[in-house]
């Protein structure tokens, strides 16, 4: 079965609810003006928690094809966890995707592979799709052990998972040295790791699962490099930072196939 490409905009800690409103309206307009075919590329925005309700209202009111999700989630259901947000809270707001293990959370919040795996499990059990991030730092890349490192992150997070469940998740490869630096991995660099991820999924969970699981590239993806990235056989979309904050750039990336 062919994998549907996914263009996901990670807004990080940017935009208040008024700015979110403006961006989503602008994005919807851009996509509509170009007759965007959502069956050829899913479009997902991932705002801060405080903007989700605003995004939901716009998307529902105009029955837009744009999907929305969250940047993180708690592994707890409810209770005394100050500052945390549960899967059921996100699900009730209509979120369909949740990111976990972004390198900024791993670095600033000491998130381990095991915690990232537990978050992915929680999200899947709540009926949403996890976007599990992985990626190496510059030292690891320079040492030439990046493939091993990234596969280690994924294998630790997905230990004990069934092939059926793995096929439902999205994996996002984001080399840390390419995040917010303007440096992009070349399409060949990105394909090397995304291809290795798919080969490891085939080895661990079988060819059918590897064929079904979507693997995204992230890290300074922009309109200027998206076509080349999307031409790679194992890249099924992108997790986009800065370029997703502008309606025209993001919409242009979602139309990579045009």
Query: What one-character DSSP code corresponds to residue 178?
Result: G
Please report, in range form, the residues annotated as the binding site for substrate: 10-12, 180, 220, 241-242
Token pair of 70 as six digits: 């969250």
The answer to whether 124 touches 168, Cβ cutoff 8 Å, is yes
| Residue 166 or 221 with smaller CB distance to ligand 3PY | 221
| Residue 120 or 210 with smaller CB distance to ligand 3PY | 120
Q: 174 catalytic, yes or no?
A: yes
| Residue 69 or 218 with smaller CB distance to ligand 3PY | 218
| Residue 101 or 117 with smaller CB distance to ligand 3PY | 101
**Strands annotated E in 74-219:** 97-100, 129-134, 170-173, 214-218
Please report, in range form, the residues annotated as the binding site: 10-12, 180, 220, 241-242
Binding site for ligand 3PY (CB under 6 A): 10, 102, 174, 179-180, 218-221, 239-241
State the nearest-atom distance from the C-beta of 240 to ligand 3PY, in Å: 6
Q: Which residues of 81-119 are buried (b: 16+ CB within 10 A; e: fewer)?
A: eeeebbbebbbebbbebbbbbbbbbbeeeebebebbbeb
State the nearest-atom distance from the C-beta of 144 to ligand 3PY, in Å: 23
State the nearest-atom distance from the C-beta of 102 to ligand 3PY, in Å: 6
Helix 113-125 and helix 146-157: axis angle, to 10°? 50
Q: How far is CA 112 from CA 108, 134, 153, in A?
A: 11, 11, 9
- Active-site residue among 102, 104, 111, 146? 102
State the nearest-atom distance from the C-beta of 30 to ligand 3PY, in Å: 19
Active-site residue numbers? 102, 174
């Amino acid at each position: 079965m062919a994998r549907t490409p996914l263009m996901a905009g990670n807004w990080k800690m940017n935009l208040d609810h008024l700015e979110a409103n403006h961006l989503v309206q602008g994005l919807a307009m851009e996509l509509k003006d170009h007759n965007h075919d959502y069956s050829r590329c899913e479009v997902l925005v991932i705002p801060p928690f405080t903007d989700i309700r605003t995004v939901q209202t716009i998307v529902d009111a105009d029955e837009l094809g744009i999907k929305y999700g969250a940047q993180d989630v708690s592994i707890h259901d409810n209770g005394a966890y100050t500052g945390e947000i549960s899967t059921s809270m996100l699900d009730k707001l209509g979120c369909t995707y949740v990111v976990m293990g972004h390198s900024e959370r791993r670095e600033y919040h000491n998130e381990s592979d095991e915690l990232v795996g537990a978050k992915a499990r929680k999200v899947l059990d709540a009926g949403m799709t996890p976007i599990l991030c992985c990626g190496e730092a510059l030292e690891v890349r320079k040492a030439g052990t990046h493939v091993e490192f990234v596969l280690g992150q994924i294998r630790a997070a997905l230990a004990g998972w069934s092939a059926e469940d793995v096929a439902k998740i999205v994996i996002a490869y984001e080399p840390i040295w390419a995040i917010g630096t303007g440096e992009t991995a070349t399409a060949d660099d990105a394909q090397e790791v995304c291809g290795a991820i798919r080969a490891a999924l085939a080895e661990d969970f079988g060819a059918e699962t590897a064929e079904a699981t979507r693997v995204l590239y992230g890290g300074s993806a922009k309109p200027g490099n998206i076509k080349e990235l999307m031409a790679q056989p194992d890249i099924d979309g992108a997790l986009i930072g800065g370029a997703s904050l502008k309606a025209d750039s993001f919409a242009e990336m979602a139309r990579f196939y045009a």
